[in-house]
Structure 1
Protein backbone atom coordinates (compact mmCIF):
# COMPACT_ATOMS: atom_id res chain seq x y z
CA UNK A 1 0.00 0.00 0.00
CA UNK A 2 1.15 3.58 -0.68
CA UNK A 3 2.46 5.44 2.37
CA UNK A 4 1.00 8.74 1.24
CA UNK A 5 -1.07 10.31 -1.49
CA UNK A 6 -0.05 13.57 -3.17
CA UNK A 7 -2.25 15.54 -5.53
CA UNK A 8 -0.76 17.51 -8.41
CA UNK A 9 -2.95 20.28 -9.83
CA UNK A 10 -1.85 21.88 -13.09
CA UNK A 11 -3.44 24.98 -14.58
CA UNK A 12 -3.30 23.22 -17.95
CA UNK A 13 -4.35 19.63 -18.66
CA UNK A 14 -3.24 16.46 -16.93
CA UNK A 15 -1.36 14.21 -17.04
CA UNK A 16 1.79 16.35 -17.00
CA UNK A 17 4.29 13.78 -18.21
CA UNK A 18 6.88 16.56 -18.50
CA UNK A 19 6.70 17.30 -14.75
CA UNK A 20 5.18 14.51 -12.68
CA UNK A 21 7.97 11.91 -13.17
CA UNK A 22 10.46 14.36 -11.64
CA UNK A 23 8.16 14.87 -8.66
CA UNK A 24 7.63 11.12 -8.30
CA UNK A 25 11.39 10.52 -8.27
CA UNK A 26 11.71 12.80 -5.25
CA UNK A 27 8.63 11.47 -3.43
CA UNK A 28 9.65 7.86 -3.99
CA UNK A 29 7.76 4.91 -5.38
CA UNK A 30 5.77 4.34 -2.19
CA UNK A 31 3.98 7.68 -2.53
CA UNK A 32 0.98 7.74 -4.87
CA UNK A 33 0.35 10.73 -7.14
CA UNK A 34 -3.04 11.72 -8.54
CA UNK A 35 -3.12 14.49 -11.15
CA UNK A 36 -5.80 16.90 -12.27
CA UNK A 37 -5.90 19.97 -14.47
CA UNK A 38 -7.88 23.19 -14.62
CA UNK A 39 -8.43 22.77 -18.36
CA UNK A 40 -9.29 19.06 -18.28
CA UNK A 41 -12.94 19.78 -19.06
CA UNK A 42 -12.08 21.75 -22.22
CA UNK A 43 -11.75 20.29 -25.70
CA UNK A 44 -9.84 21.38 -28.80
CA UNK A 45 -13.02 23.19 -29.84
CA UNK A 46 -13.51 25.05 -26.52
CA UNK A 47 -9.91 25.73 -25.46
CA UNK A 48 -10.10 29.20 -27.04
CA UNK A 49 -12.53 30.22 -24.29
CA UNK A 50 -9.70 30.70 -21.78
CA UNK A 51 -7.64 33.05 -23.97
CA UNK A 52 -6.58 36.08 -21.88
CA UNK A 53 -7.93 39.56 -22.42
CA UNK A 54 -5.37 42.29 -23.10
CA UNK A 55 -5.40 43.54 -19.49
CA UNK A 56 -5.84 40.15 -17.82
CA UNK A 57 -3.08 38.33 -15.89
CA UNK A 58 -1.70 35.73 -18.29
CA UNK A 59 -0.36 32.26 -17.54
CA UNK A 60 1.02 29.60 -19.83
CA UNK A 61 0.76 25.85 -19.42
CA UNK A 62 0.88 22.56 -21.28
CA UNK A 63 -2.01 20.70 -22.85
CA UNK A 64 -2.41 16.94 -23.02
CA UNK A 65 -1.26 16.90 -26.64
CA UNK A 66 2.06 18.52 -25.72
CA UNK A 67 1.33 22.00 -27.04
CA UNK A 68 1.25 25.09 -24.82
CA UNK A 69 -1.59 27.54 -24.28
CA UNK A 70 -1.93 31.05 -22.86
CA UNK A 71 -4.54 31.26 -20.11
CA UNK A 72 -6.47 34.20 -18.68
CA UNK A 73 -6.52 34.06 -14.87
CA UNK A 74 -10.12 35.21 -14.45
CA UNK A 75 -11.41 32.44 -16.71
CA UNK A 76 -9.14 29.84 -15.15
CA UNK A 77 -10.07 30.25 -11.47
CA UNK A 78 -13.57 28.66 -11.47
CA UNK A 79 -12.32 25.73 -13.57
CA UNK A 80 -9.35 25.25 -11.26
CA UNK A 81 -11.53 25.38 -8.15
CA UNK A 82 -13.76 22.54 -9.39
CA UNK A 83 -10.76 20.33 -10.09
CA UNK A 84 -9.24 21.19 -6.70
CA UNK A 85 -12.39 20.09 -4.85
CA UNK A 86 -12.33 16.76 -6.70
CA UNK A 87 -8.63 16.26 -6.04
CA UNK A 88 -8.75 16.98 -2.32
CA UNK A 89 -11.15 14.07 -1.76
CA UNK A 90 -8.43 11.61 -2.82
CA UNK A 91 -5.19 13.08 -1.44
CA UNK A 92 -3.30 14.01 1.73
CA UNK A 93 -1.62 17.13 0.34
CA UNK A 94 -1.75 18.98 -2.99
CA UNK A 95 1.00 20.58 -5.05
CA UNK A 96 -0.15 23.56 -7.11
CA UNK A 97 1.70 23.19 -10.41
CA UNK A 98 2.05 26.91 -11.10
CA UNK A 99 4.16 29.70 -9.60
CA UNK A 100 1.31 32.18 -9.97
CA UNK A 101 -0.68 33.70 -7.11
CA UNK A 102 -3.96 31.94 -6.25
CA UNK A 103 -5.22 33.25 -2.88
CA UNK A 104 -8.88 32.82 -3.90
CA UNK A 105 -8.70 29.03 -4.14
CA UNK A 106 -10.44 27.14 -1.33
CA UNK A 107 -9.46 23.71 -0.07
CA UNK A 108 -9.84 21.62 3.06
CA UNK A 109 -6.47 19.90 2.50
CA UNK A 110 -2.94 21.31 2.82
CA UNK A 111 -1.80 22.82 -0.46
CA UNK A 112 1.71 23.85 -1.46
CA UNK A 113 1.71 27.10 -3.44
CA UNK A 114 5.09 27.39 -5.22
CA UNK A 115 4.95 31.19 -5.29
CA UNK A 116 4.82 31.31 -1.48
CA UNK A 117 7.60 28.74 -1.16
CA UNK A 118 9.79 30.64 -3.61
CA UNK A 119 9.16 34.02 -2.01
CA UNK A 120 9.99 32.81 1.48
CA UNK A 121 13.02 30.86 0.26
CA UNK A 122 14.52 33.86 -1.53
CA UNK A 123 13.69 36.13 1.40
CA UNK A 124 15.59 33.75 3.68
CA UNK A 125 18.75 33.48 1.58
CA UNK A 126 19.09 36.69 -0.42
CA UNK A 127 18.60 40.43 -0.06
CA UNK A 128 20.40 41.57 -3.20
CA UNK A 129 19.65 41.24 -6.91
CA UNK A 130 17.26 38.50 -8.00
CA UNK A 131 17.28 37.29 -11.57
CA UNK A 132 14.02 35.86 -12.91
CA UNK A 133 13.71 33.78 -16.05
CA UNK A 134 10.05 33.90 -17.07
CA UNK A 135 8.04 32.25 -19.87
CA UNK A 136 6.25 35.26 -21.42
CA UNK A 137 7.01 38.91 -22.05
CA UNK A 138 3.47 39.84 -21.03
CA UNK A 139 4.13 38.41 -17.55
CA UNK A 140 7.04 40.72 -16.83
CA UNK A 141 5.21 43.56 -15.07
CA UNK A 142 2.99 41.33 -12.90
CA UNK A 143 5.89 39.12 -11.80
CA UNK A 144 8.14 42.05 -10.95
CA UNK A 145 5.29 43.46 -8.86
CA UNK A 146 4.84 40.12 -7.09
CA UNK A 147 8.53 39.81 -6.18
CA UNK A 148 9.02 43.47 -5.21
CA UNK A 149 7.39 42.84 -1.84
CA UNK A 150 10.78 41.70 -0.57
CA UNK A 151 12.57 44.90 -1.61
CA UNK A 152 14.83 42.93 -3.90
CA UNK A 153 16.37 44.36 -7.02
CA UNK A 154 14.49 42.40 -9.69
CA UNK A 155 16.00 41.66 -13.10
CA UNK A 156 14.05 39.65 -15.69
CA UNK A 157 14.74 37.80 -18.92
CA UNK A 158 12.28 35.81 -21.04
CA UNK A 159 12.90 32.21 -22.16
CA UNK A 160 9.91 29.87 -22.44
CA UNK A 161 10.12 26.31 -21.07
CA UNK A 162 7.54 25.15 -23.61
CA UNK A 163 9.34 25.95 -26.86
CA UNK A 164 12.88 26.38 -28.12
CA UNK A 165 14.44 29.23 -26.19
CA UNK A 166 17.86 30.33 -24.95
CA UNK A 167 17.73 29.72 -21.20
CA UNK A 168 21.52 29.72 -21.02
CA UNK A 169 21.69 33.08 -22.80
CA UNK A 170 18.96 34.53 -20.57
CA UNK A 171 20.88 33.45 -17.46
CA UNK A 172 24.11 34.91 -18.83
CA UNK A 173 22.32 38.21 -19.45
CA UNK A 174 20.98 38.21 -15.88
CA UNK A 175 24.50 37.67 -14.53
CA UNK A 176 25.85 40.55 -16.66
CA UNK A 177 23.05 42.78 -15.36
CA UNK A 178 23.99 42.09 -11.73
CA UNK A 179 21.87 39.11 -10.63
CA UNK A 180 23.20 37.18 -7.64
CA UNK A 181 20.74 34.28 -7.72
CA UNK A 182 18.30 33.05 -10.38
CA UNK A 183 14.77 31.69 -10.08
CA UNK A 184 13.21 29.83 -13.00
CA UNK A 185 9.76 31.29 -12.37
CA UNK A 186 7.51 28.60 -13.86
CA UNK A 187 6.79 24.98 -13.02
CA UNK A 188 7.46 24.10 -16.66
CA UNK A 189 11.23 24.51 -16.29
CA UNK A 190 13.10 21.22 -15.81
CA UNK A 191 16.54 20.04 -14.71
CA UNK A 192 18.02 20.65 -18.17
CA UNK A 193 16.84 24.26 -17.99
CA UNK A 194 18.42 24.55 -14.54
CA UNK A 195 21.70 23.15 -15.84
CA UNK A 196 21.66 25.56 -18.78
CA UNK A 197 20.97 28.50 -16.45
CA UNK A 198 23.76 27.47 -14.09
CA UNK A 199 26.24 27.02 -16.95
CA UNK A 200 25.26 30.33 -18.51
CA UNK A 201 25.52 32.34 -15.32
CA UNK A 202 27.68 30.49 -12.78
CA UNK A 203 25.03 31.47 -10.22
CA UNK A 204 22.82 29.46 -7.86
CA UNK A 205 19.61 28.52 -9.68
CA UNK A 206 16.32 27.66 -7.95
CA UNK A 207 14.04 25.17 -9.75
CA UNK A 208 10.47 25.33 -8.37
CA UNK A 209 9.32 21.79 -9.23
CA UNK A 210 12.02 20.06 -7.25
CA UNK A 211 11.81 22.53 -4.37
CA UNK A 212 8.09 21.94 -3.77
CA UNK A 213 8.41 18.18 -4.34
CA UNK A 214 10.91 17.99 -1.48
CA UNK A 215 8.51 19.83 0.81
CA UNK A 216 5.71 17.40 -0.13
CA UNK A 217 8.06 14.49 0.55
CA UNK A 218 8.78 15.85 4.03
CA UNK A 219 5.04 16.10 4.71
CA UNK A 220 4.07 12.58 3.68
CA UNK A 221 7.19 10.72 4.85
Structure 2
Protein backbone atom coordinates (compact mmCIF):
# COMPACT_ATOMS: atom_id res chain seq x y z
CA UNK A 1 0.00 0.00 0.00
CA UNK A 2 1.38 3.45 -0.90
CA UNK A 3 1.69 6.33 1.48
CA UNK A 4 -1.46 8.22 2.37
CA UNK A 5 -2.06 11.93 1.94
CA UNK A 6 -3.99 14.18 4.31
CA UNK A 7 -5.38 17.57 3.33
CA UNK A 8 -5.41 20.25 6.01
CA UNK A 9 -7.96 22.97 5.30
CA UNK A 10 -7.74 26.07 7.47
CA UNK A 11 -10.34 28.81 7.45
CA UNK A 12 -7.47 31.30 7.42
CA UNK A 13 -4.41 31.13 5.19
CA UNK A 14 -2.02 28.27 4.64
CA UNK A 15 0.49 27.10 5.57
CA UNK A 16 -0.43 26.88 9.25
CA UNK A 17 3.09 26.62 10.60
CA UNK A 18 1.68 27.04 14.11
CA UNK A 19 -0.51 23.91 13.87
CA UNK A 20 0.75 21.50 11.22
CA UNK A 21 3.91 20.38 13.10
CA UNK A 22 1.71 19.05 15.94
CA UNK A 23 -0.27 16.99 13.42
CA UNK A 24 2.82 15.82 11.52
CA UNK A 25 4.36 14.55 14.75
CA UNK A 26 1.38 12.25 15.28
CA UNK A 27 0.80 11.13 11.68
CA UNK A 28 4.45 10.28 11.06
CA UNK A 29 6.70 10.66 8.05
CA UNK A 30 4.85 8.11 5.89
CA UNK A 31 1.85 10.42 5.62
CA UNK A 32 2.11 13.41 3.30
CA UNK A 33 0.30 16.62 4.17
CA UNK A 34 -1.14 19.12 1.70
CA UNK A 35 -2.34 22.44 3.09
CA UNK A 36 -4.94 24.87 1.79
CA UNK A 37 -6.77 27.86 3.24
CA UNK A 38 -10.13 29.50 2.76
CA UNK A 39 -8.43 32.90 2.59
CA UNK A 40 -5.50 31.86 0.38
CA UNK A 41 -6.88 33.87 -2.53
CA UNK A 42 -7.02 37.09 -0.47
CA UNK A 43 -4.30 39.65 0.15
CA UNK A 44 -3.72 42.13 2.96
CA UNK A 45 -5.55 44.64 0.78
CA UNK A 46 -8.62 42.46 0.15
CA UNK A 47 -8.94 40.59 3.47
CA UNK A 48 -11.38 43.24 4.72
CA UNK A 49 -13.96 41.67 2.39
CA UNK A 50 -14.51 38.79 4.84
CA UNK A 51 -14.98 40.88 7.98
CA UNK A 52 -18.09 39.69 9.85
CA UNK A 53 -21.30 41.68 9.73
CA UNK A 54 -23.15 42.25 12.97
CA UNK A 55 -25.57 39.39 12.29
CA UNK A 56 -23.00 36.89 11.05
CA UNK A 57 -21.25 34.05 12.88
CA UNK A 58 -17.73 35.15 13.74
CA UNK A 59 -14.65 32.95 13.48
CA UNK A 60 -11.01 33.77 14.09
CA UNK A 61 -8.01 32.31 12.33
CA UNK A 62 -4.43 33.03 11.35
CA UNK A 63 -3.04 34.67 8.24
CA UNK A 64 0.17 33.63 6.52
CA UNK A 65 2.06 36.51 8.15
CA UNK A 66 1.07 35.32 11.62
CA UNK A 67 -1.59 37.93 12.30
CA UNK A 68 -5.05 36.86 13.43
CA UNK A 69 -8.18 37.86 11.54
CA UNK A 70 -11.90 37.80 12.33
CA UNK A 71 -13.97 36.10 9.64
CA UNK A 72 -17.67 36.27 8.79
CA UNK A 73 -18.97 32.75 8.16
CA UNK A 74 -21.31 33.68 5.31
CA UNK A 75 -18.46 35.34 3.41
CA UNK A 76 -16.06 32.50 4.13
CA UNK A 77 -18.19 29.60 2.91
CA UNK A 78 -17.88 30.08 -0.88
CA UNK A 79 -14.13 30.64 -0.57
CA UNK A 80 -13.79 27.56 1.64
CA UNK A 81 -15.82 25.41 -0.75
CA UNK A 82 -13.62 26.36 -3.69
CA UNK A 83 -10.44 25.55 -1.79
CA UNK A 84 -11.81 22.24 -0.52
CA UNK A 85 -12.99 21.12 -3.95
CA UNK A 86 -9.47 21.64 -5.28
CA UNK A 87 -7.76 20.12 -2.24
CA UNK A 88 -9.72 16.88 -2.15
CA UNK A 89 -8.65 16.06 -5.70
CA UNK A 90 -5.10 15.51 -4.41
CA UNK A 91 -5.56 13.81 -1.00
CA UNK A 92 -7.18 10.77 0.63
CA UNK A 93 -8.85 12.57 3.54
CA UNK A 94 -9.38 16.19 4.59
CA UNK A 95 -9.08 17.66 8.08
CA UNK A 96 -11.05 20.86 8.66
CA UNK A 97 -8.78 23.00 10.80
CA UNK A 98 -11.62 24.64 12.72
CA UNK A 99 -13.97 23.56 15.51
CA UNK A 100 -16.90 25.38 13.89
CA UNK A 101 -19.66 23.63 11.97
CA UNK A 102 -19.89 23.67 8.18
CA UNK A 103 -22.90 21.52 7.20
CA UNK A 104 -23.29 23.08 3.75
CA UNK A 105 -19.84 22.14 2.46
CA UNK A 106 -19.88 19.50 -0.26
CA UNK A 107 -17.13 16.86 -0.26
CA UNK A 108 -16.33 13.75 -2.30
CA UNK A 109 -13.60 12.51 0.03
CA UNK A 110 -13.89 11.81 3.78
CA UNK A 111 -13.68 15.01 5.78
CA UNK A 112 -12.99 15.19 9.51
CA UNK A 113 -14.81 17.93 11.42
CA UNK A 114 -13.21 18.45 14.85
CA UNK A 115 -16.44 19.79 16.37
CA UNK A 116 -18.23 16.50 15.68
CA UNK A 117 -15.42 14.46 17.20
CA UNK A 118 -15.19 16.72 20.25
CA UNK A 119 -18.93 16.65 20.80
CA UNK A 120 -19.15 12.86 20.72
CA UNK A 121 -16.09 12.36 22.91
CA UNK A 122 -17.38 14.79 25.52
CA UNK A 123 -20.72 13.00 25.55
CA UNK A 124 -18.93 9.69 26.08
CA UNK A 125 -16.68 11.04 28.84
CA UNK A 126 -19.24 13.31 30.47
CA UNK A 127 -22.84 12.17 29.92
CA UNK A 128 -23.82 14.49 32.77
CA UNK A 129 -21.96 17.09 34.76
CA UNK A 130 -20.25 20.38 33.94
CA UNK A 131 -18.24 21.22 30.84
CA UNK A 132 -15.77 24.10 30.78
CA UNK A 133 -15.02 25.77 27.46
CA UNK A 134 -12.11 28.10 26.76
CA UNK A 135 -12.96 30.07 23.62
CA UNK A 136 -11.07 32.66 21.54
CA UNK A 137 -13.63 35.49 21.28
CA UNK A 138 -16.33 36.99 23.48
CA UNK A 139 -18.64 37.31 20.46
CA UNK A 140 -18.53 33.51 20.05
CA UNK A 141 -19.94 32.82 23.50
CA UNK A 142 -23.64 32.53 22.67
CA UNK A 143 -23.21 30.46 19.51
CA UNK A 144 -20.84 28.04 21.24
CA UNK A 145 -23.13 27.66 24.23
CA UNK A 146 -25.87 26.72 21.79
CA UNK A 147 -23.64 24.28 19.90
CA UNK A 148 -22.61 22.41 23.05
CA UNK A 149 -26.01 22.39 24.75
CA UNK A 150 -27.20 18.92 25.72
CA UNK A 151 -29.47 17.46 28.39
CA UNK A 152 -27.79 16.90 31.72
CA UNK A 153 -24.77 19.07 30.93
CA UNK A 154 -23.97 22.45 32.46
CA UNK A 155 -21.68 24.62 30.37
CA UNK A 156 -19.32 27.34 31.52
CA UNK A 157 -17.17 29.49 29.25
CA UNK A 158 -14.11 31.66 29.63
CA UNK A 159 -12.39 33.72 26.92
CA UNK A 160 -8.65 33.46 26.27
CA UNK A 161 -7.39 33.78 22.68
CA UNK A 162 -4.78 31.36 21.33
CA UNK A 163 -3.55 34.06 18.95
CA UNK A 164 -2.68 36.73 21.50
CA UNK A 165 -1.08 36.77 24.92
CA UNK A 166 -3.81 35.36 27.14
CA UNK A 167 -4.19 33.94 30.63
CA UNK A 168 -5.08 30.37 29.69
CA UNK A 169 -4.26 29.09 33.18
CA UNK A 170 -6.47 31.75 34.74
CA UNK A 171 -9.36 30.90 32.42
CA UNK A 172 -9.06 27.20 33.28
CA UNK A 173 -8.83 27.99 36.99
CA UNK A 174 -12.02 30.06 36.73
CA UNK A 175 -13.80 27.14 35.06
CA UNK A 176 -12.67 24.77 37.80
CA UNK A 177 -13.98 27.16 40.46
CA UNK A 178 -17.33 27.29 38.64
CA UNK A 179 -17.55 23.51 38.91
CA UNK A 180 -16.31 22.22 35.54
CA UNK A 181 -15.45 18.52 35.40
CA UNK A 182 -13.52 18.70 32.13
CA UNK A 183 -12.14 21.52 29.96
CA UNK A 184 -12.21 21.80 26.16
CA UNK A 185 -9.94 24.27 24.38
CA UNK A 186 -12.51 25.05 21.70
CA UNK A 187 -10.32 26.18 18.79
CA UNK A 188 -7.70 24.51 16.60
CA UNK A 189 -5.37 27.42 17.38
CA UNK A 190 -4.73 26.20 20.92
CA UNK A 191 -1.47 24.26 21.23
CA UNK A 192 0.26 21.85 23.58
CA UNK A 193 1.60 24.68 25.73
CA UNK A 194 -1.91 26.08 26.13
CA UNK A 195 -3.10 22.64 27.24
CA UNK A 196 -0.28 22.40 29.77
CA UNK A 197 -1.21 25.80 31.16
CA UNK A 198 -4.88 24.81 31.39
CA UNK A 199 -4.06 21.57 33.21
CA UNK A 200 -1.80 23.38 35.68
CA UNK A 201 -4.38 26.10 36.24
CA UNK A 202 -7.34 23.80 36.81
CA UNK A 203 -6.06 20.33 37.72
CA UNK A 204 -8.75 19.00 35.36
CA UNK A 205 -8.65 16.81 32.24
CA UNK A 206 -8.18 19.08 29.20
CA UNK A 207 -9.02 18.15 25.61
CA UNK A 208 -6.85 19.69 22.87
CA UNK A 209 -8.61 19.45 19.47
CA UNK A 210 -5.54 19.47 17.19
CA UNK A 211 -3.88 16.42 18.76
CA UNK A 212 -7.15 14.62 19.40
CA UNK A 213 -8.25 14.68 15.76
CA UNK A 214 -4.73 13.95 14.52
CA UNK A 215 -4.74 10.69 16.47
CA UNK A 216 -8.06 9.69 14.92
CA UNK A 217 -6.78 10.47 11.41
CA UNK A 218 -3.65 8.44 12.20
CA UNK A 219 -5.90 5.43 12.81
CA UNK A 220 -7.68 6.02 9.50
CA UNK A 221 -4.53 6.23 7.39
CA UNK A 222 -2.51 3.56 9.25
CA UNK A 223 -1.22 0.75 7.08
TM over 0.5: yes
How many residues are matched? 221
Could you say which residue in structure 1 is the equivalent of 2:124? 124
1:74 matches 2:74: yes
Match of 1:47 in 2: 47
Partner of 1:143: 144
**1:52·1:71 contact (CA, 8 Å) conserved in 2?**
yes
Aligned Cα RMSD in Å?
A: 1.0
Q: CA deviation at 1:4?
A: 0.7
Number of the residue aligned with 1:211: 212
Measured against aligned partners, the alpha-carbon deviations of 1:171-209 in whole angstroms (never above 9, x if no partner) come to 000000000000000000000000000000000000000
Distance 1:150 1:118 in 2: 16
Match of 2:175 in 1: 174
Structure 1 unaligned residues grouped into runs of 5+ = none
Distance 1:150 1:220 in 2: 34
Q: TM-score if structure 1 supplies the norm length? A: 0.98
SS at match of 2:149: helix
Secondary structure of the corresponding residue to residue 183 of structure 1: strand
* Separation in 1, partners of 2:178, 2:220: 38
Q: Is the 8 A contact 1:4 1:30 kept in 2?
A: yes
Q: Which sections of structure 2, spanning at least 5 residues, go unmatched?
A: none
CA separation in 2, counterparts of 1:191 and 1:38?
25
CA displacement at 1:149 relative to structure 2: 3.3
Report 1:80-95 matches (<5 A). Answer: 80-95=80-95
Q: Do structure 1's residue 163 and structure 2's residue 164 form an aligned pair?
A: yes
Deviation at 1:55, TM superposition (A): 1.5
Cα 1:38–1:150, aligned 2, differ >3 Å: closer, same or farther?
Answer: farther
Q: Which runs of 4+ in 1 moved over 2 A?
A: none
Any idea what SS the aligned residue of 2:150 has?
helix
- Deviation of 1:56 after TM superposition, in Å, equals 0.8
Partners in 1 of 2:130 and 2:95 — Cα distance?
Answer: 28
**3-state SS of paired residue (1:186):** coil
Q: Secondary structure at the match of 1:17?
A: coil
Work out the CA distance in 2 between the residues paired with 1:40 and 1:3. 27
| 1-structure distance, mates of 2:59, 2:150 | 20
CA-to-partner distance for each residue in 1:6-59, whole Å, 9 max, x for gaps?
Answer: 000000000000000100000001100000000000011100000001121000
Secondary structure, aligned partner of 1:141? helix
Structure 1 equivalent of residue 25 of structure 2: 25
Where does residue 60 of structure 2 map in the other structure? 60
- Normalised by the length of structure 2, the TM-score is 0.98
Deviates more, 1:178-187 or 1:148-157: 148-157
Residue aligned with 1:149, SS: coil
- Following TM superposition, by how much is the alpha carbon of 1:2 offset from its aligned partner in structure 2, in angstroms? 6.0
1:6 equivalent in structure 2: 6
